[in-house]
A and B are shown apart, each in its own frame.
Chain A
Amino acid sequence: MKSSNHVEYAITPPKGFLSVNWGELWRFRDLFLVLAWRDITVRYKQTVLGILWALLQPVVTMIVFTFIFNRVGRIESGDTTPYPIFLYVGLILWHYYSMTLTSASNSLVTYQAMLQKIYFPRFIMPASTAVTGLVDLAIASLILAGMMVYYRFSPPLLGLLVLPVLLLCTILAAVGFGCFLAAINVKYRDVRHALPFFIQILMYVTPVIYPVKMLDKYPVIKSLMLWLNPMSGVITNARAALLGQGHFDWTIMGISFLMSGVYFVVGLYYFRNTERYFADIV
């Protein structure tokens, strides 16, 4: 106690913006990478299908949804874009978002054994879940590339440049919201039961299976959707950017970016303020 030299690691109380100790977070970057790498290997270890599996899920979902909503339900893409590719762009982005949100929300409960034993910046846990889905997204994008060749779409250069921004939006929204839910999940397991339904419902109020244009008749619902749900803007713009159909909407982009930033800050703020008791009640 007398000399600080004897202390190997000092856990200081949180302070500063969002009470996040950014320096500490940086020092723990190897833990972040290890957790992310573990998630990836666990997902593909001891599996026969391996990578094929990451391809199969979005493709089969696309086929089923195209059949149900397009062939039977008569939902169209709203312009000349063929429905399957229109749907697929939305699906893979949505799949990434929902997967990250789910695993971030459950991260603290899943790894409670680790949480109760050692100290590390808790934020690393939900944050590392964002990496695992990226692998799936990359693999699923191969099919998208194939479909773009098949349907003869060549993305404009601007579209490709804007993709990282769209992805960043998605990550911020998913991790921010995930942090918030993870913190609640520690105390109330209702989150775990509600989440699958919540995500299912959320998918239908996001323009994944239909174009946002379909809501032009209901301007209030449309603007509510674009403001409250950053993924609406992300998916709409990703379609414009990749398929070149419909024009890229910078206003919507700005709204999405602003809102995912808000979700991230609020989520992180709540997370940091409840973090103290995680290990006690998880």
Chain B
Amino acid sequence: MTEGGGPTTDRTPSPSSVLGHPSSLPDHWDLVIRPHRKWFDLKLGELWRYRDLVMLFVRRDFVALYKQTILGPLWYIIQPLLTTITFTIVFGRIARLPTNGLPQFLFYMAGTVVWTYFATCLTKTSETFVQNAQLFGKVYFPRLAVPVSILISNLIAFAIQFVFFLAFMVYFALRGSPIRPNPYILLTPILLLTMAGLALGFGTIVLALTTKYRDLRFLIHFGVQLLMYAAPVVYSTSSLPPGLQPIVRANPLSSIIEAFRYAYLGGVAPSLGQLAYSFGFMVVILVVGIVVFNRVEATFVDTV
């Protein structure tokens, strides 16, 4: 694993020569860790050079979930399935929330699959430092590699769950349910990108706060759960009382979930203005998140 990013030469300058003439021996260094010049510095080039490490993290995250289990990777399918069944019973059958005339099972499954991607990315990103403190304390690599790998490994999980969702969709369509997939499907990559950006942005902001205040670690799980109720996962925005709709619409995730559901199942489409709002929100939160991340990155090893 270390070949790509690790040392490639044995020549190491002696300490005295380094201290004496630091600028005269630049070639001897494998890697120079420079301080940040700009407050907004993605260092994407460096991240690209460490791509093998990112892929290794992706593999680790993906495999670690089902190590030492009987059902193994099946857990990736069982999780959304169980959640969907619970939602169908509780919100569909007991609370009888309207679903715009769509089959309840598919309605909740679409919401769950999309929401799970966001929620997992957000939670995992916000735990980056605590989970990897050992590794971070020992060796340098672009810290952004960890959140990026989280986005990728969960995207794989999302893809698996999404295929599973499509299978159910076909099944329901064959049974004659009123499902109307439409050109909104083409928006899928943009929707995913927006969600990933939102998760990364919010995640890094929470991350910055958790390194200082530990209670946010407890809060994040609860907060994400609450946020789910503030997004149209178990209901559709149009079925809410008019007074509440603006509050839900203010949530940048709402239009993404609604658009996703509309694209594959039909029902009520969110306006393009709504989608533009979410995208704009994502850009802002991502920029803020990265600025914050770069600031925290410099000092967190000492505080975690």
Q: Which residues of A contact B234 (CB under 8 A)?
A: 68
Interface residues of A in 35-66 (CB under 8 A from B): 43, 45-50, 53, 57, 60, 64
Which of A12-20, A69-77, A151-159, A271-279 makes up part of the contact surface? A69-77
Shortest CB-to-CB span from B70 to chain A, Å, is 5
Cα distance A188–B66 when bound, in Å?
10
Which of B33-41, B89-97, B149-157, B181-189 makes up part of the contact surface? B89-97
A72-B235, A75-B95, A201-B86 known; A190-B218 Cβ under 8 A: no
Q: Which residues of B contact A45 (CB under 8 A)?
A: 214
Q: Does B95 lie within 8 Å of A197, measured CB to CB? A: no
A45-B214, A75-B95, A204-B94 known; A188-B69 Cβ under 8 A: yes
For the complex, count residues of A whose C-beta is within 8 A of B. 27
Q: Does A48 lie within 8 Å of B86, measured CB to CB? A: no
Contact indicator per residue, chain A 126-168, by CB within 8 Å of chain B (1) or not (0): 0000000000000000000000000000000000000000000
Report the interface size class on chain B.
20 to 34
Q: Does A200 lie within 8 Å of B97, measured CB to CB? A: no
Cα distance A71–B261 when bound, in Å?
25
Shortest CB-to-CB span from A40 to chain B, Å, is 14
Interface residues of B in 97-111 (CB under 8 A from A): 97
Check A189 for interface membership: any CB of B closer than 8 A: yes
Q: Does A190 lie within 8 Å of B94, measured CB to CB? A: no
Interface residues of A in 229-261 (CB under 8 A from B): none
Q: Does B79 lie within 8 Å of A197, measured CB to CB? A: yes
Check A210 for interface membership: any CB of B closer than 8 A: yes
In the complex, the number of residue pairs spanning A and B with C-beta atoms less than 8 Å apart equals: 72
Cα distance A46–B217 when bound, in Å?
11
Check B229 for interface membership: any CB of A closer than 8 A: yes
Cα distance A188–B78 when bound, in Å?
16
Q: Does A53 lie within 8 Å of B69, measured CB to CB? A: no
Other A-B pairs, 17, CB within 8 Å; known A60-B226, A204-B94: A46-B213, A46-B214, A46-B215, A48-B215, A53-B218, A64-B229, A68-B91, A68-B229, A72-B95, A74-B95, A75-B94, A75-B95, A188-B68, A194-B78, A197-B86, A200-B86, A201-B82
Q: Which residues of A contact B (CB under 8 A)?
A: 43, 45-50, 53, 57, 60, 64, 68-69, 72-75, 188-190, 193-194, 197, 200-201, 204, 210
